[in-house]
Structure 1
Amino acid sequence: MGFPAEAIPARVAENLIVECGTPPRTAWRLASELSLDVAADRYNALTGDPRAGMRGTRIWEYEQWPDRGVRPTVAALRVLATVYGTCWKSLLGLRDLEQLPAKDLAEYHAEAEPEVPRPKARAPVRVEERVDEEIGTGVLDDAILLTKTNVDDTQLDDLWSDLDFLGGVYTRTAPESILGQLAVVEERVSAMLKGRQRPKQTQDLLLAGAKCSAMMAWIAGDLGRYRLSRELNSAAWLYTQYADDFLARRWVRTSQARVAFWAGNGVESAKLAADGLTYHVGGRLTDAPLVLAEARGWSSVQAERQVLDAIAHWTSIEDPDLGAGGEDRFFNITKDRRHYMAGTSLLAVGQATSALREFTTAREAYEKLSPENRWEAMDPMIRIDTGRAYLRLDDLEGAAAHVEPLLEADVAKQPDMVRATLKLLAAELSGPRWRPAPAARHLAEALQDASAPGRP
């Protein structure tokens, strides 16, 4: 009909709108002969990042508005207009204008009709010439994008150094302080992941995110904030799914099992620990924490056979020389904590004598540790459960000798599990077996007072 090539999309869009009742944004996309996904790709390319967030589904939602879908911003309309070779005002009909916020409507009326940005017209060429010209166009530029990164080795080294340091000082630093510092590390990881990295750098960031989130979940659990713990562990597991790394999965399963147990989900804890053991990683993160977590989980439901099997497994692999240190020290618990976990599991299934032996070993191991490697909460926990073991053996004096030092300690500021275990001991002292004994009642009352919030 004699129209120049560059004018055809506008005439097609006009007729789609007038003759077919097609909404303006859909009409201009169809007139430009673009699918939703291709339009989204061109949108992202114009914004400077081919991996930006525009998707074909979002453009479809823009086209459904105002009946349904999502209202496009003026900024989005400007980019779409450039993609379609028109001005942003032509992408709005009267029904759209009726629903626009006052600010956007004022901008619509204030702006003069701009010169329509149109792609440069190309002289007609034969099909075979077009193929020769366009094959490979932009491939080199796209490949060069892979060399551009917002991350360098120094930044990654700093992240891992911070995680190792915070994992090492946790035993002697207030949990709330460590949690706050880890949150800053996680924010750095998240910010870097939003940029562009080489594949190996992305993998390192995902691993750092997994470890940081799992550590935060562990510590939030120590503070009794179990909902936050579960959210953090879910985030950590998502990181591991993308990182596809067995060691990372072990970190997260170790944290998940611990949090689940102290939140009162013992069977879930045991199953999470058992799953963690299926990820074989050599010697970096030993089997002991997960095996003992499995035993402790089953002990919550007095599953004696499963507990004894797990303890036997742990005994066969226990390395008495394995101490604190190493980059995974946060998850590789020290000897005193390993024997304490074994003791609590045995005590829960009625093996009081065996449990007492484990608590004695735990006490000896704790006292041999240097002060910087001691976890402060271990002292009251060993004392409390040693006292419980003596009660099971009908030795009230032995129990009192171990727990009376807690009467002078500031137990109220200890992690949540210390207070929970102390309440359990007080309940046992107040139970039918020891209720007639005045000494037991007095000790129970004193322990309850010692753990009360706001104690001076």
Structure 2
Amino acid sequence: MSRQVKPGSKPYRAQLRDRLAALGFPEEAIPAKVAENLIVECGVPPRTAWRLASELSLDVAAHQYNAVTGDPRAGMRGTRIWEYEQWPERGVRPTVAALRVLAQVYGTSWKSLLGLRDLEQLPAKDLAEYHAEAEPVAAQAPESVASPPARAVALVETRPEEEIGAGALDDAILLTKTNVDDAQLDDLWADLDFLGGAYTRTAPQSILGQLAVIEERASALLKGRQRPKQAQDLLLIGAKSTAMMAWIAGDLGRYRLSRELSSAAWLYTQYADDFLARRWVRTSQARVAFWAGNGVESAKLAADGLNYHVGGRLTDAPLILAEARGWSSVQAEPQVLDAIARWTTIENPDLGAGGDDAFFNITKDRRHYMAGTSLLSVGQASAALREFTTAREAYEKLSLEHRWEAMDPMIRIDTGRAHLRLDDLDGAAAQVEPVLATDVGKQPDMVRAMLKILAAELAGPRWRSAATARNLAEAVLDAHASARP
């Protein structure tokens, strides 16, 4: 190449086309040679190589796919073509029928869209079809285009003075080229918002996997060329998706993965340089640190998150309550009461469950539950019980789609603990027994953690001689043991 450019990039492909044209290749033969070079020299997988050689974005390729099928409203989308390109390492295996349509879009044969690793993973029926079909006829061309002709180098070295800087405009125009469009970004944001809302009613592992796809797409796009605003959008998508993944991994008890995801999320925010993104990540980090047993770290992360003022999109409440809960783990009563007082002054009982940041803007039931657990940990049992009562009422008013299933057992367990502190064993049993009748194994890791704490309190000196307490403690321990992953 005459100038150093990233292998496989759009400038690289533009220079490659110029070299091929200079070697006498007809225009219609150039895409195939570009695809061949991307595969052999740059290690680009075949389906991606052919799309890039055709200079098509994912969404434009999907549009042309639908046009080839004769139905512009057909279901192919850029996201699905991206998933086809990730297979077999991840993503979705394309059918032979899909490959045939893509081949028409790219002007090649469907067999050329499959590499060796693809063939090794094909079903036997598809592999038989692959071998049954004749090989496409290769275009005749010089054996190699790996290095530029010596004459071209000489021309560069001896060009006249008036040509110096003549390519500057072309270089600047490259800045307008982008591998991403607004439709792709809108899709990514829409998918994030949907998954954030779906977490309350969908298996965490499923949401975690779908978020990973979004993060991988954003990361893959960032390796290309974008305008500054598009690049920042992709960085924000990376930050939000990994912060959500860290939160969910913590819910599943996978704290090592959660810490790695948190580090990745914070790195995205550093490059995005966005206060809202930093709030997302600190909210997630504070939550994970608390449930991993690092209460003081949780409080400090939450306090740092409050330094990033964003004007209402993500309220202060989740971070203030996380700060209170973190300090409660070490019975730091002054800090807990101070945080609860700050939260009380800003609490908005009408704050709903919707919005772009619904995942981090926790609902009213969860806010009052967090306040209650913090108060309970510093000996404020009566105040905690009031908060748990409000949390229960708020939970029951939520529509089913906005209820987080884990809140019911968590409110019941900690309400039971508050009753124990107030010497009401029967009240505690009434709260906890419905939890024990359910499948605790389906609940997040923190439910099991709270059951363990409850069992320890029932086995303490205060209740050791009470048969009801012993029986309840045994039932709680049995539920905890049966729920181990």
The TM tier, using the shorter chain, reads 0.7 to 0.9
Match of 1:316 in 2: 345
Partner deviation per Cα, 1:169-224 (whole Å, 9 max, x = no partner): 10011111111111111111111111111111111111011000000000000000
Match of 1:133 in 2: 163
Preserved contact between residue 387 and residue 399 of structure 1 (Cα < 8 Å): yes
Q: Does 1:255 align with 2:284?
A: yes
Q: Distance in 1 between matches of 2:365 and 2:148?
A: 75
| Alignment-mate amino acid for residue 275 of structure 1 | D
Match of 1:272 in 2: 301
Out of 397, 401, 419, the position equivalent to 1:372 is 401
| 1:239-388 superposed matches below 5 A | 239-388=268-417
1:50 CA drift (Å): 6.4
Preserved contact between residue 257 and residue 268 of structure 1 (Cα < 8 Å): yes
Match of 1:391 in 2: 420
User: RMSD of the alignment, in Å?
Assistant: 2.5
1:123 CA drift (Å): 11
Q: Distance in 2 between matches of 1:206 and 1:46?
A: 23
3-state DSSP of counterpart to 2:481: coil
Out of 175, 180, 192, the position equivalent to 2:204 is 175
How many pairs does the alignment contain? 356
| Alignment-mate amino acid for residue 452 of structure 1 | A
- Structure 2: any 5+ residue segments left out of the alignment? 14-39, 43-142
1:115 CA drift (Å): 10
Q: Does 1:452 align with 2:484?
A: no
3-state DSSP of counterpart to 1:452: helix
Rg larger for: 1
Preserved contact between residue 9 and residue 224 of structure 2 (Cα < 8 Å): no
| 1:175-214 superposed matches below 5 A | 175-214=204-243
Shift in alpha-carbon separation, 1:48–1:156, aligned structure 2, 3 A: closer
1:413 CA drift (Å): 1.5
Partner deviation per Cα, 1:346-375 (whole Å, 9 max, x = no partner): 011111111111001000110111111100
| 1:109-188 superposed matches below 5 A | 117-120=149-152, 121=154, 131-134=161-164, 136-188=165-217
Match of 2:5 in 1: 44
1:323 CA drift (Å): 1.5
| Alignment-mate amino acid for residue 169 of structure 1 | A
1:236 CA drift (Å): 0.7
TM-score by length of structure 2 reads 0.70
Preserved contact between residue 409 and residue 450 of structure 1 (Cα < 8 Å): no
1:132 CA drift (Å): 3.8
- Structure 1: any 5+ residue segments left out of the alignment? 1-38, 53-73, 77-110
1:51 CA drift (Å): 9.3
TM-score by length of structure 1 reads 0.74
1:46 CA drift (Å): 7.8
Shift in alpha-carbon separation, 1:209–1:292, aligned structure 2, 3 A: same
Match of 2:80 in 1: none
| Alignment-mate amino acid for residue 172 of structure 2 | A
Q: Distance in 1 between matches of 2:430 and 2:482?
A: 24
Q: Distance in 1 between matches of 2:297 and 2:201?
A: 30
Q: Distance in 1 between matches of 2:447 and 2:155?
A: 77
Q: Distance in 2 between matches of 1:318 and 1:254?
A: 17
Q: Distance in 1 between matches of 2:156 and 2:391?
A: 85
| Alignment-mate amino acid for residue 306 of structure 2 | L
Q: Distance in 2 between matches of 1:399 and 1:253?
A: 34
| Alignment-mate amino acid for residue 189 of structure 1 | A
Match of 1:9 in 2: none
Preserved contact between residue 343 and residue 359 of structure 1 (Cα < 8 Å): yes
3-state DSSP of counterpart to 2:166: coil
Preserved contact between residue 372 and residue 387 of structure 2 (Cα < 8 Å): yes
Preserved contact between residue 412 and residue 452 of structure 1 (Cα < 8 Å): no
Shift in alpha-carbon separation, 1:417–1:305, aligned structure 2, 3 A: same
